[in-house]
Amino acid sequence: MGLFKRNPFGHILFIKKWLIRVLGAMTHKRYRGFNELQIEGSEIIKTLPDTNVLFISNHQTYFADVVAMFHVFNASLSGRQDTIKNIGYLWQPKMNIYYVAAKETMQAGLLPRILAYVGAITVERTWRAKGVDVTEKRDVNPNDTENIRIALEDGWVITFPQGTTKSFKPVRKGTAHIIKQHKPIVIPIVIDGFRRSFDKKGLRMKKKGILQSFIIKEPLDIDYENDTIDEIVEKVEYAIEQHPSFLKVIPAEEIKAQEELNEMRRWSYKDSENEY
């Protein structure tokens, strides 16, 4: 790699690589140490092609979710199975991982701007501004969708199709349009525990000893030619477990089983703490 080689967005790869290394080392204990990240399905990551992969996920914090994905993806590509143990995987990180983020969020201070250099595709949200939903429809910036296309052609893209950290908000149709137009392999991810571990921005830890879960699912089955936008939206909602049907009352026996599982995980977490 040439010292000043750049990606399609003009970012110098040498600088980006060192930012990933340094930020990764600084954040590693947030997912393996102070808290424990339980990963499922990481074997799927190694089977994916190098480009045109779209990761869709529910969203709980501005930055901690994405940082966890950089850790998990690079650890998985380095041969680790459902673990981010030993941060040596950060030495040669995958350089063509991008994530979609609101422009106003990534311009709010020095640290967000540094994080943006790591791989943000900034977009202007048409439905929300400064944390408030807007009622007046604004035009979508064509440069935003073009940049997502460029990123997919160059590598992997992470997006949060609800466009907010609030649970069970509707999936935005823009994600479905991207899927239908560019036909990427779509990998759903379901996360939990991040909202309890971090503040809303995902920069400050607010509680230790939280079990964070990170589930990678099989590629979404999509008929790119015949599925309608609404059908794709519904598939995305189910895949990231944000469809309104998930809000139904959970049976008592399922709650009891979940509590028993959480107790088992709690003791498993304590054991892993002792090993760390």
pLDDT-derived band at 40 (thresholds 50, 70, 90) equals very high
Which one has a higher pLDDT value, 73 or 109?
Answer: 73
Reported pTM: 0.84
pLDDT per position as a tens digit, 200-212: 999 999 999 999 9
Write the pLDDT tens digit of every residue in 66-107.
999 999 999 999 999 999 999 999 999 999 999 999 888 888
Look at residue 258 in the predicted model and tell me its pLDDT.
61
59 and 189 in contact (C-beta within 8 Å)? Answer: no
The residue among 42 and 112 whose pLDDT is bigger is 42
**What whole-number distance in Å separates Cα of residue 51 and Cα of residue 151?**
9
Q: Which carries the bigger pLDDT value, residue 251 or residue 4?
A: 4
Quickly state the pLDDT bin for 259 (edges 50, 70, 90).
low
pLDDT of 104? 86
What per-residue confidence (pLDDT) applies to 233?
Answer: 96
Average pLDDT over residues 263-267: 58
- The alpha-helical segments, DSSP class H, found in 170-251 are 173-182, 194-197, 229-239
Using CA atoms, how far apart are residues 159 and 151, in angstroms rounded to an integer? 12
Give the sheet arrangement for strand 53-57, strand by strand: 36-40, 211-216, 185-192, 53-57, 156-159, 97-102, 120-123
For residue 135, the model assigns a pLDDT of 47
> What is the C-alpha to C-alpha distance for residues 100 and 133, in angstroms, rounded to an integer?
19
What confidence score (pLDDT) does residue 276 get? 42
pLDDT at res. 181: 94
CA 43 to chain centroid:
17
Buried b vs exposed e over 172-201: b needs ≥16 C-beta within 10 Å? Answer: bebbbebbbebebbbbbbbbbbbbebbeeb
- pLDDT tens digits, 165-189: 888 899 999 999 999 999 999 999 9
- The pLDDT, as a whole number, for residue 63 is 94
DSSP 245: G
